[in-house]
Chains A and B, each alone.
Chain A
Amino acid sequence: MSLEKITNPLSARHWMGDMEADYVYTLGVAGERFFKEIKENGRIMGAKCPLCNIVFVPPRMYCEKCFEKLEEWVDVGRKGVIHTFTIATIDVDGSKLKKPVIFALIKFEGAHGGLIHKIGKTDKARIGMKVEAILRPPKERKASINDIEYFKPLE
Chain B
Amino acid sequence: MLGKKRVAIVGAGLTLFRRNLKETGKELSYEAAKMALDSAGLELRDMQSVVMGSAPDAFDGVHMKGEYLADGAGAYHKPYTRVFVGGGTGVFTPLAGWWHVASGQFDTCLVMCEEKMSSCYPHPQYAFTTIFDPILERPIGMNLVWIFALEMHRYMHKHNVKKEQIALVSVKNKRNALDHPCAQLGAKITVEDVLNSEIMCWPVQRLDISPTSDGAAAVVLASEDVAKEVTDNPVWIDGVGWCIDSTHWTNRDLYYPDYVECAARMAYKMAGIKNPPKEIDMAEPYDPFDYKELHHMEGLLLCKKGEAPKLTAEGVTQRNGDLPICPSGGLLGCGNPIAAAGLMKVSEIFWQLRGEAGKRQIPGDPRTGVAQAWGDLMQYGSVIVLRR
Contact = CB atoms under 8 A, between A and B. Distances in A.
Interface string B7-25: 0000000000000111110
A66 B44 contact: yes
Contacts of A62: 27, 30, 34, 72
A67 to B, nearest CB: 4
B61 A23 contact: yes
Interface string B23-57: 11011001001100100000111000000000000
Contacts of B21: 26
Nearest to A30: B27
A40 interface: no
Given A19-B130, A23-B61, A67 B22 contact: no
B134 A17 contact: yes
A66 B27 contact: no
A154 interface: no
A46 to B, nearest CB: 16
A21 interface: yes
Interface in A42-62: 60-62
A67 B74 contact: yes
Interface string A9-41: 000000101010111111111111000000000
Question: Interface size bucket, B side?
Answer: 20 to 34
Contacts of B33: 67
B362 to A, nearest CB: 33
Contacts of A66: 43-45
A67 B43 contact: yes
18 contacts: A15-B135, A17-B138, A23-B119, A23-B120, A24-B118, A25-B24, A27-B24, A28-B22, A29-B22, A31-B24, A60-B26, A61-B30, A62-B27, A62-B30, A65-B44, A65-B77, A67-B37, A67-B44
Interface of B: 20-24, 26-27, 30, 33-34, 37, 43-45, 58, 61, 71-72, 74, 76-77, 118-122, 126-127, 130, 134-135, 138
Given A19-B58, A22-B122, A61-B23, 4 more contacts: A23-B119, A29-B23, A60-B71, A65-B76
Interface of A: 15, 17, 19, 21-32, 60-62, 64-67, 69
The 7 closest A-B pairs by CB, nearest first: A28-B24, A23-B61, A64-B71, A67-B44, A24-B121, A64-B76, A17-B134
